[in-house]
Structure 1
Amino acid sequence: MTPFSFTLEARSGGARLGRIDTARGAIRTPAFMPVGTAATVKAMLPESVAATGADILLGNTYHLMLRPTAERIDRLGGLHRFMNWSKPILTDSGGFQVMSLAGLRKLTEKGVTFKSHIDGSKHELTPERSMEIQRLLGSDIVMAFDECPALPASRDRIAESMQLSMRWAARSRDAFGDRPGHALFGIMQGGLEKDLREESARALTEIGFEGYAIGGLAVGEGQEAMFDCLDYAPGFLPEDRPRYLMGVGKPDDIVGAVKRGVDMMDCVLPSRSGRTGQAWTRRGQVNIKNARHMDDSRPLDEACSCPACRHYSRAYLHHVYRAGEMISGMLLTWHNLHYYQELMQAMRDAIAADAFDAFESAFHAQRAEGDIPPL
């Protein structure tokens, strides 16, 4: 079995080009991971997701433990077989969803008890149970169980939460055990407090993980505050391990994060936007709902090679959205995921050529032009 490893291949300023090798294939970094919450990227076939250029998907521990259950997925051959995805999968720990979705939750040193948002049934999630669920799912990259407090929160609350997460990280590491070919990532917390981020990174590094995530951002603090944190947070983590910024984000968030040394990201945005009539393009966001597209025979983006842009007009995409047709979400999601993967490839090429600053300037200049003028 191929051991899990990370190779740093080039730099351009703070941006890093690399490769993660796993038993199920290589992941080119910087990498964007489409979110397959309930064992599916909504509105997409797995082979279509692969065709956009994605090397890895994200699955969701909280949703899968509730339905269809990790035990059932294990009996059916594991998550890869269950959802027909042969490439790597990263599963989150469930902590964030427990905090944001579950009802009547109770937090203790042991873990969290909560009521399912589906049927009100009672469950307990601990570091040990999260590791067990992710083992049953068979994911290639497993996330340590943590608590993510909603911001804004007091410094004392953030410090207390971070320290609890570090104790849970140690328990996650112990419970993960020896699993050749699989990796466990620790999650840095600490809000927007520099000293707490450093304390968290030190604690995680002492425990030792195959990769490190930056958690607790993109939770409403705004881009400027997030970038201020990313100016120092990645530097607290080991150079020779992948750095994963959780839950990010918009294209300009992603470019800013890569500039600051982030290697991996995930977000529901491209697929969620696709289902609500929003397309991301080189020239910014296009709202296909708008009447200006009704008679427009041009593609969304003439430079894009996705099926939505190759074969369909803005007028058609406007029509099927307005008519409530399923193909609307399918085509716009495919386009958005394709655009995100093209963006990642453009950044990888720029880092390889040591030209990231020039890439970033061109990226922002093109977006500033705005959408093509109406016909």
Structure 2
Amino acid sequence: MKFIIKSISKNSGRLGHLRIKESSELQTPLLLQTTKGGSIPYLSADVFGLVSREQQVLQLTLCTMDQMAESLDQWNRSLGDYVGYPDYNTLLLLRDPCEVTPSGGNDRDVVPLFTRRGKESLTAERYMQLVTSFAPDVYQGLCDADTNPESTKKRVQKSVDRTERFMQHCFKQHRELERLKDSTLLAPIVGGYNTFARTQSIKHAREQPKGTYGGYIFEGFHTNGIAATSLNPSQLLPIVDHCVQQIEDELPRLMPGAFTPVLMLELIRLGVDIFDTSYAYCAAVNYKALTFSYCIDKEEHSAFLDVTDEAIKEQFTPLLEGCNCLACQKHTRAYIHHLYKTNELLGPILLMIHNLHHYMGFFDVIRDSISADQLPALLDYVRHQNMSTDINYCIEPNNKTVGKAAMGKGFITAAN
């Protein structure tokens, strides 16, 4: 993996070009496509091709794909080809950023992996065996990231010490395993909300020989799922800034999680390069269409449209006026509300089409704003949407009741 910085601005973050293996150059800030079981949620590869024709990077998660390891051992083509996206690069994470990760189960020598079949205790050796089976283009190192703003100093220190032990094995195996010779390792930076612990984690990574890893992944700030949408920026941003100041500029930085658009812009301004689409998914599965504006105008805009709202049942207008996604061009608010009422699978499909299209357009505007050194103006606009107060972008859990006959179909009750 090769990363080239195109420009750096004191107020607007940085632009870069990322090349993974033989792919075309990807522009940063980059948006990864979050998947479940190797698939973009609710969308087939053909349908996603209607959302975007540009080359994407798939963010795969071991907790939703571990059962595929045995068959992947026998697979002699790329991981992207295996999941039906042969032209896409792949990045393998341990945890699913779309779902809350249960706490507990960590020990001196193991990290819990919560799968559909239950909990598996991963040692560093077992983890690298699984990664070798997958042979992704990029993957994260094993870490204890079970920390959040409430974690004690003792718990945070344990996460750093355990991660250091795990990574000693991961660094060594990465250099030796033939099947991973073309893969890039991301060094995890852990330590909760403690600057001293974060410094320790960074120091251990930077002690490794040059070229051992190709970037950083910042972990341990939240427990994934919609918990990431309610993080306190005044707590998070100083810690991220502290980390960014201590790592080299020439390596990309990834932060997985469903961060709000405002917090994401703040993180980009600090120098974080790579994010994912878990926020778009979390909104869709909780009945919300993204309707915030990122094209500065004089109208007031809301963060979401709740498709369960009875007020829209006779609104024969698009989810978002001016949006040219397939959902907005072909269907109306009233129709999508009807799909919710009848528990039709097409409902979440249309919401995912719209939310992904909207979020990818947002990132196009972000890159243009950085290029023009106008990110602060975009941040202020997204934060207020021309209203007198800050817009609330937190995603509330879906508490709608769905009958047993409808379970497994269409809109479902999201996990809290």
Indicate the residue corresponding to 2:71 in structure 1.
72
Q: Cα RMSD over matched residues?
A: 2.7
**Which amino acid in the other structure matches residue 135 of structure 2?**
G
Distance in structure 2 (CA, Å) of the matches to 1:316 and 1:98:
28
- Cα gap change, 1:177 to 1:326, in 2 (>3 Å): same
- Cα gap change, 1:366 to 1:47, in 2 (>3 Å): farther
Distance in structure 1 (CA, Å) of the matches to 2:350 and 2:100:
32
Distance in structure 1 (CA, Å) of the matches to 2:334 and 2:120:
48
Indicate the residue corresponding to 2:216 in structure 1.
212
Conserved? CA contact 2:98–2:281, under 8 Å = no
Conserved? CA contact 1:211–1:242, under 8 Å = yes
Conserved? CA contact 1:275–1:328, under 8 Å = no
- Cα gap change, 1:99 to 1:131, in 2 (>3 Å): farther
1:291 is aligned, of 303, 310, 322, to 310
Q: CA deviation at 1:78?
A: 4.7
Q: Which runs of 5+ in 2 are unaligned?
A: 294-300, 393-416
- Cα gap change, 1:101 to 1:263, in 2 (>3 Å): same
Q: CA deviation at 1:331?
A: 0.6
Indicate the residue corresponding to 2:167 in structure 1.
169
Alignment TM-score, normalising by the size of structure 1:
0.88
Q: CA deviation at 1:140?
A: 0.8
- Cα gap change, 1:87 to 1:95, in 2 (>3 Å): closer
Q: CA deviation at 1:350?
A: 1.0
Equivalent residue runs for 1:1-375 within 5 Å: 4-12=1-9, 13-25=11-23, 26-49=25-48, 51-52=51-52, 55-65=56-66, 67=67, 69-76=68-75, 77-85=77-85, 86-94=87-95, 100-101=101-102, 105=105, 107-109=107-109, 111-112=110-111, 117-120=115-118, 123-151=120-148, 152-177=150-175, 179-207=180-208, 208-219=212-223, 220=227, 221-281=231-291, 282=293, 283=301, 284-366=303-385, 368=387
**Which amino acid in the other structure matches residue 9 of structure 1?**
K
- Cα gap change, 1:320 to 1:312, in 2 (>3 Å): same
Q: CA deviation at 1:84?
A: 1.1
- Alpha-carbon deviations, 1:264-305, whole Å to 9, x = none? 112523123213311112231111110111111111112222
**Which amino acid in the other structure matches residue 30 of structure 1?**
P
**Which amino acid in the other structure matches residue 327 of structure 2?**
A
Alignment TM-score, normalising by the size of structure 2:
0.80
Distance in structure 1 (CA, Å) of the matches to 2:106 and 2:367:
43
Give SS of 2:254's match. strand
Q: Which runs of 5+ in 1 are unaligned?
A: none
Give SS of 2:385's match. helix
- Cα gap change, 1:95 to 1:195, in 2 (>3 Å): farther
Residue identity (%): 20
Distance in structure 1 (CA, Å) of the matches to 2:290 and 2:251:
31
**Which amino acid in the other structure matches residue 268 of structure 1?**
S
Give SS of 2:221's match. coil
Q: CA deviation at 1:180?
A: 4.2
**Which amino acid in the other structure matches residue 356 of structure 1?**
L
Q: CA deviation at 1:24?
A: 4.8
Q: CA deviation at 1:100?
A: 3.0
Distance in structure 2 (CA, Å) of the matches to 1:360 and 1:163:
37
Distance in structure 2 (CA, Å) of the matches to 1:146 and 1:217:
13
Q: Which moved more, 1:247-256 or 1:184-193?
A: 247-256
Conserved? CA contact 1:22–1:182, under 8 Å = no
